[in-house]
Structure 1
Amino acid sequence: MVPKQTSQANHQRTIYRPLVLLAPALTLGVIGDAALDFSMTLWLGAFASLMVLWGLLWWKRQERHASVCLLLVVAVFGGMLHHAHWNLYRSTELSCGLSPDKQPVALQGTVTDYPRFLPAKPPSSAFEFELANQWKVPFRIHQIRSGATWEAASGHTEIYVSGDTIDVHPGESILVFAQASCSEGALNPGEFDFANWARGKRRRTFLRSGFSECLQAIGTAEQPSRWNPIREARHYVSRELAAAIPPGLDGLAETIFLGRRERLSDATDEAFRQTGTVHLLALSGLHLGILALFAYWLLRFLPGPGWLPAVCLLLMTLGYVILVDARPPIVRASILVASFCVAMILFRRQVFWNSLAAAWIIVICWNPTEIFQAGTQLSFVAVASLAWLSGFLATRKKIDPLQKLIEESRPWPVKCTRVAARWLGGMFVASLVVWLVTLPLVLFHFHAASPWTIVLSPILIIPMGFALGGTLLLLAASIAVPIATPILSWLVSWPLWMMQETVSWTQQHAGLTFWSAGPPAWWVIGFYTVAAIVAWQMLTRRFPIRWSVAVVALWLMVGFVWGTLQAIESATRDDLVCTFVSVGHGTCVLVELPEGRHLLYDCGRLGSPKRACQSLSAVLWSKGIEHLDAVIISHDDADHYNGLPEVLERFSVGAVYCSDLMEKIPSDLVSSLLADINGRGIPLRTLSAGRTLQAHPSVGMTILHPTRKGVLGRDNANSIVLLIEYRGRRILLPGDLESPGTEGVIVERPIDCDIVMAPHHGSRHSHAESFYQWCQPEWIVVSSGSREIGGPENAQPGEPVWLNTAASGMIQIRLTAEGGAPQVNTWKK
């Protein structure tokens, strides 16, 4: 009898990077649940079934099928993690009963950490309001008052309290009177979704108190827990930095060492953003890497066995990660540092890609929603790019013994100069590679990029390294040798000052930031998939460099062709789209005319002008629009134009229109705006009743109000009233029209309109009833920040339909070339 061949059974295959396979599987499960939102019952059923199937395949020794099944088990586990994190809360969770509308509450709970002072930042422009100082108090909810009784409640949040001082302490039980709400979701396409972000952090409750007296102590502090030393250490570091670093630089020091940006000035933050070096402010692996290198260089001088420095560095890394609240980029970097330390302790070789995959898996297990955050994505992509570059250069590095001998025989000044030049050149090459690889992701998330990051990043790393190392010494000296802290404070302040002045000078004298709608999500995913495959083939020398470049160029060409087709489609569009952007209490209306022309009617809001610009920018970029042919400013009211200065920074504008009165008798704010417009070389033109704008043969745009001399009364009464007609359909935009301007309009022949924007944000003080009777609208759109403004609760047939941007989000009206009924769509159903 011939024995059965067992060579295949005896064959053993060793996989040196198993986590590289598990990380994508886990990621697909998280993405699957985020996109499809399966029930936990379905996930549990799939997990149990696949585990049984894997056991059967393993028992039958079908190795490949069992491996595939095991990867599916990991994917299902990722979906379970995301579903539990995203959907499962306690029955007493307070945020589940809240809405975006504020409501007064009385709560009892515990202060979980030291209150953090948020100094009022001076307005960066004349269009912003001056705010009061605030405190942010970390708070754990225990009870909520319902009538005269207290009921159980739960949740972690922060209380924002206005005031200069506050008297609460960690572990103290307090009674809180506040306005409570949950974070509001995105009201416009492409806008940052604060509700999803807060839900991912599992901190959906938002509390605000107007006075520090609204927080009252009701009991003694809790007993110390094992986390108290960490809390005390964090507070100690923050206090020492504030005391040792001069004002104006202490916020920067705390930002790059602790990751807390509350005290960083808006001017410094904006300078880093516009020069493309904001990643230096975001606590990441770069900061931990610099600190680890500095600490390891010092630890090498410790007496003891060779593994002692690695053990000390491992403990220091763990302490620093906990100190900065275990942010995902730091967790990623700590895994790499920890694997390096463990490899040194065990005398093993570190497998970088396996360690990077382990960091990704730990981030998912810690918080599955973090993989959707821009910071996490950019951090991992940047590190992977640097690792690939290092491996690629190593595979093609050829050492010439003769050249090496010549280099060793050179004088030491020449050697130092050449080493420094090679190091600086390598840093610039690394910066260029990272910038190019991360550019699609940066444009997709932020729609802005600056080539200055290629030059400034390698330069600023040097002072930042000295600042981080000096901060570490400063904190150690404050404990061991307090008398040395003034000297170390001076040594830390100088590199911080160099960083701040370098980016500020670059921003003011050589600003180079370009804004873009960015690529679509499918193209970004395809780009990194293609890049990963090509990079792997290049590392293993299975793919020639010229073919690798050709494949990447082909995918870039796909994106270019897609953008060209989109531009052609926009230029040949034959319908008219009027979009009411949700900006809160303000006005922002985008009119997309046939054949690709775009008109903007107002852009402003009550409060932060940046929010108005951000909302409009999100809508424009979601539509692929980067140029506005004309902008109309309805009247001299800041909530109608205070977002324009930033809009002019981000988008090119053909011309700006305003009324004759605004140009002849401008307020201080309008004068500032008009000076900005003239400084940019944008034509400024005036409009008055009877004028028409010629943009398309089939579109009529007529100014109904005001006349050149205007009417007596407030600026609202002299709002520009714009009538848009297309294929027999009419849209009327009246700004903040009110009496006596209303009477000046309705005295003319009535005009039957399909869509009318409610005058003065739907305010009852505008007395718009006669105006509506004059224009007989079918739809009335309210651009407001209050959901309560609308039509009658029991509307009768034939009465106009009311829509509110505060409740419905962005409202889009489409007038077709056939002249049919207007197509009305809202962002929130």
Structure 2
Amino acid sequence: MAGMTLAWILAEFRPPVFRAWLLGLMLFWSWTSFRKIRTVQALGLAGWICLIVNPSWLFDVGTQLSFLAIVAILGCWKWMPSLFRNQIETKLLTSESTSDSPSSIQRGFRHAIHFLKQTAIISLAITLFLLPILTAHFHLVSLAGIPATVLALPLLAIALPGLILTATIGFFSPAIASLIATPTHYILMLMSGLAELFSRGPLQWLPAGINFWIVACFCLLAGLLVFLPKQTGIPLKAGISTSWCLLLVIGLSPFPSSIFHQSLECRVLSVGHGNACLMRCPNGRIILFDAGSMENGRFASSAITASLSDLGCNRIDAIVISHTDTDHLNAIPFLMDEIPIHTIFLNPVGLNPRHPGLAAIVEKAGEHHINLRYLQPEDEIRLDKKVRISTRQCGSSPLSHLTSDNEHSIVMEVEYADRHLLFPADVSGDGQERLFEETSPGYDFLVAPHHGSIKDNTLDFSKWAGAENIVFSTGDENGQGYLTELYSPQQVLWTTAGAVRCRIDAQGHCTVEQWHRNQYWGIPLEN
């Protein structure tokens, strides 16, 4: 108990550790008072105490995972009691009466095999039980924890006492504590290496979206597996277990559900002062126009990942970096660590190795074997034969020095079912003048240049674009009155109020909606 209390203190009183401490305290009281206590009752009481101490822990992901992991172990205990019985000892005692009694090495080997088998089955049960919550919060399905746990648990059994001894002895003699801390440190480094090894393996993937009803049915069947009486017949057990596994396969499949959607959908995500335009083609292929935020690159990456999962997609086929401003690219290194990406298209103007953001992208792309290409004027990105994705304007050669490349931003145009979308990034000055030299088809959906900058959203640009729906991807609403009047009477939307999406079906019917804070897409604005 002293060791558990010390671990709780060292863990800064975190809810999962507090739960473990409460359970340990109850079991210790049961053992010392010679009173039998049911583990389910102890778990329920620990849950009530946690809610009394801090009701907000109910919404803490760590707390949820901690309690559900114990429920999964209880399920194993109930349905596979032989896994927890000391059958090894029984076999050893039986064999001792015969002439072929095992040696101490054989006994140790059998114990090790039984321990690894027990660890693998329990890890599998915990992983499968927690998958819906892990997927909902982290947008990732991972089975890598099963083999990683089997390999790391023996190391943890050595490292944990070492940590406790180091912390305890360190109060009295740092010199002696260092003798224990050094090997413990190397064991922890080895565990960290195992985690890194399995984090990049094939045992994890981005789910292609998960339906609410699948989650509900999964939880119902999981509850039945845990709380049905032991006398339940084998056919019913098998039926529930099979249904449970089928729901996992269907709900967490890596195969995209988006292949059943025959429409084009574009989302301008709410990432503060930045740009992230995610587009799904009718065949399910995904392209991302810019990915960054002045506030935080990881924040923008999380918004993109969540939107991908909501779209039912689990990879990005192409990313176009319009130019090298931080708020257009700083989410890409995070995305490369989380999502399979096929190709990143670069602006030739920004190909400067001294640019820190671009250098980080090139380095990461090499690590993940992601294709890097640069675009040229009038290039097309062929993802869907029904969708034309082309460079309306693009530079052709790098600048000789680090400077603003807004003027040379890649301007992307998308055409589908006689509808036109324009993504001008931060194009300004002479870059806009070059656009005006060409005829505009009139755009049904436009992401306003330079986040709604008054300097770059002029009357000339408004007349040239002839847009029906204009979206401002920005973190503030400065100049809202001027810009609304400038583009009037067209529809003007701001990502400060939530993400905006445009959907175009095969017949050319266009619908524009905005995400509301109450977690739903707003009433469609139809054209």
Fold conserved between structures, TM > 0.5? yes
- In the TM superposition, residue 543 of structure 1 has moved relative to its aligned partner by 2.4
Deviations 1:653-702, CA, capped at 9 Å, x for gaps? 34332334345888454355345435644444443333344444553333
Q: Partners in 1 of 2:8 and 2:194 — Cα distance? A: 33
**Counterpart contact for 2:409–2:426, Cα < 8 Å:** yes
3-state secondary structure, aligned to 2:346:
strand
Residue 203 of structure 2 corresponds to residue 516 of structure 1: no
Pick from 46, 58, 68 the counterpart of residue 359 of structure 1: 46
Report the more deviating stretch, 757-766 or 794-803.
794-803
Match of 1:456 in 2: 148
Match of 1:532 in 2: 223
Q: Which consecutive segments of 4 or more residues in structure 1 shift more than 6 A?
A: 398-402, 562-566, 710-713
Residue 412 of structure 2 corresponds to residue 722 of structure 1: yes
Amino acid at match of 1:524: V
**Counterpart contact for 2:163–2:184, Cα < 8 Å:** no
3-state secondary structure, aligned to 2:266:
strand
Q: Partners in 2 of 1:510 and 1:596 — Cα distance? A: 27
Pick from 327, 334, 358 the counterpart of residue 670 of structure 1: 358
Pick from 427, 431, 437 the counterpart of residue 129 of structure 2: 437
3-state secondary structure, aligned to 1:596:
coil
**Counterpart contact for 1:444–1:521, Cα < 8 Å:** no
Deviations 1:192-213, CA, capped at 9 Å, x for gaps? xxxxxxxxxxxxxxxxxxxxxx
3-state secondary structure, aligned to 1:655:
strand
Amino acid at match of 2:187: M
Pick from 369, 374, 395 the counterpart of residue 61 of structure 2: 374
Amino acid at match of 1:532: G
- In the TM superposition, residue 360 of structure 1 has moved relative to its aligned partner by 1.7
Match of 1:350 in 2: 37
Residue ranges of structure 1 left out of the alignment (5+ in a row): 1-291, 296-315
**Counterpart contact for 1:781–1:804, Cα < 8 Å:** yes
Residue 277 of structure 2 corresponds to residue 589 of structure 1: yes
Deviations 1:395-435, CA, capped at 9 Å, x for gaps? 68596977524248655454444434433443333333322
Report the more deviating stretch, 584-593 or 693-702.
693-702
3-state secondary structure, aligned to 1:703:
strand
Deviations 1:690-719, CA, capped at 9 Å, x for gaps? 334444455333322125359998411111
Residue 192 of structure 2 corresponds to residue 503 of structure 1: yes
Deviations 1:426-459, CA, capped at 9 Å, x for gaps? 3333333322332333223223354442233344
3-state secondary structure, aligned to 2:492:
strand
Match of 1:599 in 2: 287
Match of 1:330 in 2: 17
Q: Partners in 2 of 1:738 and 1:406 — Cα distance? A: 85
Spell out the pairing of 1:630-669 with structure 2 (5 A cutoff): 630-662=318-350, 667=355, 669=357
3-state secondary structure, aligned to 1:594:
coil
- In the TM superposition, residue 354 of structure 1 has moved relative to its aligned partner by 1.0
**Counterpart contact for 1:460–1:499, Cα < 8 Å:** no
Residue 84 of structure 2 corresponds to residue 394 of structure 1: no
Match of 2:525 in 1: none
Deviations 1:114-133, CA, capped at 9 Å, x for gaps? xxxxxxxxxxxxxxxxxxxx
Q: Partners in 2 of 1:331 and 1:615 — Cα distance? A: 32
- In the TM superposition, residue 632 of structure 1 has moved relative to its aligned partner by 1.5
Seen in structure 2, the aligned counterparts of structure 1 residues 407 and 444 have a Cα distance that, compared at 3 Å, is farther
Pick from 466, 476, 484 the counterpart of residue 786 of structure 1: 476
**Counterpart contact for 1:581–1:809, Cα < 8 Å:** yes
Match of 1:97 in 2: none
Spell out the pairing of 1:11-50 with structure 2 (5 A cutoff): none
Seen in structure 2, the aligned counterparts of structure 1 residues 734 and 429 have a Cα distance that, compared at 3 Å, is same
| TM-score normalized with structure 2 length | 0.83
Report the more deviating stretch, 407-416 or 624-633.
407-416
Q: Partners in 1 of 2:394 and 2:275 — Cα distance? A: 19
Seen in structure 2, the aligned counterparts of structure 1 residues 457 and 822 have a Cα distance that, compared at 3 Å, is closer
Match of 1:745 in 2: 435
Amino acid at match of 1:495: T
Seen in structure 2, the aligned counterparts of structure 1 residues 462 and 490 have a Cα distance that, compared at 3 Å, is farther
Spell out the pairing of 1:790-829 with structure 2 (5 A cutoff): 790-792=480-482, 795=485, 798-805=488-495, 807-820=496-509, 822-828=511-517
Pick from 370, 377, 396 the counterpart of residue 708 of structure 1: 396
Match of 1:158 in 2: none
Residue ranges of structure 2 left out of the alignment (5+ in a row): 523-527
- Give the superposed CA RMSD: 3.6
Residue 378 of structure 2 corresponds to residue 690 of structure 1: yes
- In the TM superposition, residue 618 of structure 1 has moved relative to its aligned partner by 0.9
Q: Partners in 1 of 2:248 and 2:165 — Cα distance? A: 50
**Counterpart contact for 1:321–1:331, Cα < 8 Å:** yes
Deviations 1:439-482, CA, capped at 9 Å, x for gaps? 33322322335444223334444444544434444454455xx2
**Counterpart contact for 1:578–1:592, Cα < 8 Å:** yes
Seen in structure 2, the aligned counterparts of structure 1 residues 560 and 383 have a Cα distance that, compared at 3 Å, is closer
3-state secondary structure, aligned to 2:289:
strand
Pick from 314, 317, 334 the counterpart of residue 629 of structure 1: 317
3-state secondary structure, aligned to 2:480:
coil
Seen in structure 2, the aligned counterparts of structure 1 residues 553 and 587 have a Cα distance that, compared at 3 Å, is same
Amino acid at match of 1:556: C
- In the TM superposition, residue 350 of structure 1 has moved relative to its aligned partner by 1.7
How many residue pairs align between the two structures? 509
Match of 1:580 in 2: 268
**Counterpart contact for 2:391–2:410, Cα < 8 Å:** yes
Seen in structure 2, the aligned counterparts of structure 1 residues 666 and 768 have a Cα distance that, compared at 3 Å, is farther
3-state secondary structure, aligned to 2:322:
coil
Amino acid at match of 2:218: F
3-state secondary structure, aligned to 2:324:
coil
